[in-house]
Every structure is written in structure tokens, then in C-alpha cells.
Structure 1
């Protein structure tokens, strides 16, 4: 198999794993916050990222990207544990969780931008990744507004 194609496959797998981590992270954040609007925000973000994972799996049937179950990574599990600890010691849980979401989204955007530079990336996959990146970018702006309100 061509090394360029293998590199692209690995990057797509990383994006899928990042989104799996985001699903679980947003679910965990929804459990840790108190305000109904912020709970709803995180629940909606988890659903959005589940859709991202399904879309990426459906667009890459030839890849061995694992099963459709949302599992996430060991690094993501450690981050969710950190979120629990931070919530325990932080007086404003909603703000702390929103800041963690922003940090994760900024990291995701960087990974999306990196794969978009791949010249061998199929056109349809590039469209999907660009659309998902743009949605995450829009969500970052929304979370900034929410941060100011909590």
C-alpha cells in the first residue's frame, strides 16, 4: 500500500478517535455542569460528534477504522478523569467544563487542518472534513458566548 495513502488512513483514524473522545467528553461535561442551558449545549455537542463519527465511518468503508461503537482512546479516558477531578476542586463547574471544551475543540481544529493539507485526500472526504471542521469552529464561537454568560 502506498505510504501516502497509509498516512491519510492513519490521520482519518485519528480524527475518528478524537471525535469518539469528544462524544464521551461532552457527555461527561453534561454530567458535571449545573445550568440547564449548559447541560443542553454539551448534550447537543455529544450528538453532533456521534454524527461526525458515523459520517466518517460511512465515508471510509475500506478503512479498518474499527466498529461503529464509540470507544475513544486511552488519552481521552485520562482527560475525562481529569475533568472529574477538576470539577471536584473548582467552584464554577460550568465555566471549567466550557474551558475544557474550548481546549479540546481547538486541538480538533488543528488536526482537521492538518489532514486538509494532504494532497492525496479524496475530494469527498476533504469536503466532509472541511464541513466538520467548520462546525467545530462555529461551536467554538458559541462556547465563547456561553463562557461569558456563566
Structure 2
């Protein structure tokens, strides 16, 4: 029979792993989303930006994968079905839209905001060790910077399209 302390530690472990698996799944989704955006972008500068964002998310995935393994658990290996459907919607929207790059940037903004929301929700959990918390905070900061950049790109695209 487990003690109360053992059960509490087990629950913390399970919650930590669950949170990291959720972040990993969303990171795979974001990486795939940026790769899709790269394929659909007309502007070569956007293609390069999206490629760098996809590579950045691959680094995040590696970090999260390692953190899960450090907890003696097996990381998930792919993103969600819902995100795959969303990328299909990006294809359709890009095909129908007269301002493809603007529509893609809007979808990237939506995705980055969703990522930030997830990190904010998960980081409320006080049970992360300091090293793991630092990894997650660093990733969240990079997402916030990416969101700001995408918003700037979209604003520029809107100005260009208004002429």
C-alpha cells in the first residue's frame, strides 16, 4: 500500500508528464503548421521566416522529448488530428484567398496565440522543477517573440495590400 506522500508524488509525476505530452503534441502541430505555411507562402522572405519557425519548433520538440524521457516515460511521436485538419483548412483558405500571405499570417497568429495560452495554463502548475520551468519559460518567450514578429509581418502585408 502506498503512503499519502507516495501517491502525491505519483500524481505530480503523472500531471507533469501529461502537461509535457500536451506541449509536445502542440509543438509537433506548430512545426507542421509552419512547414505548411512555408509551402503556401508566395513571398520568399516569408518562406524563410516560416522555415526558421519550423526549425525552432523542432528544437522545442527535442527539448520536450528529452524532458519526458528524463521522467522515464515515452514521448508521443506526432501531432493531433485536429491540427492536421486545420492545415487542410489553411490549404483551402490559401487557395480561395486573394491575399494568400495575409491569410497564412493570420493563421500563424492564431496558432501562436493558442500556443501561448497552453504554456500559460501549464505553467500555473507549481510542481515543475526549476530546470524544467526554465526550459518551458524560454520556449514561451520565444513563442511570444514569434507572435510579435508575425503580427508585424501581417501589419506590413496589410499596408502593402491596401495600395
* TM class, shorter-length: over 0.9
Q: In the alignment, what sits opposite 1:92?
A: 99
Structure with bigger gyration radius: 2
Counterpart selection for 2:108 from 94, 101, 104: 101
List per-residue Cα deviations over 1:54-89 (Å, max 9, x = no partner): 01112221222134xxx2111111110010011111
Instruction: Choose 58-67 or 40-49, whichever is displaced more.
Output: 58-67
Contact between 1:8 and 1:115, CA under 8 Å: does it hold in 2? no
Does the residue aligned with 1:60 lie in a helix, a strand or coil? helix
Are positions 1:146 and 2:153 aligned together?
A: yes
Q: In the alignment, what sits opposite 1:47?
A: 55
Counterpart selection for 1:27 from 28, 32, 35: 35
Count the aligned residue pairs: 147
Displacement of 1:9: 1.1
Are positions 1:124 and 2:131 aligned together?
A: yes
Counterpart selection for 1:80 from 82, 87, 93: 87
Contact between 2:32 and 2:54, CA under 8 Å: does it hold in 1? yes
Alignment gaps of 5+ in structure 1: none
Are positions 1:66 and 2:76 aligned together?
A: yes
TM-score, structure 2 as length reference: 0.86
Displacement of 1:36: 0.7
TM-score, structure 1 as length reference: 0.93
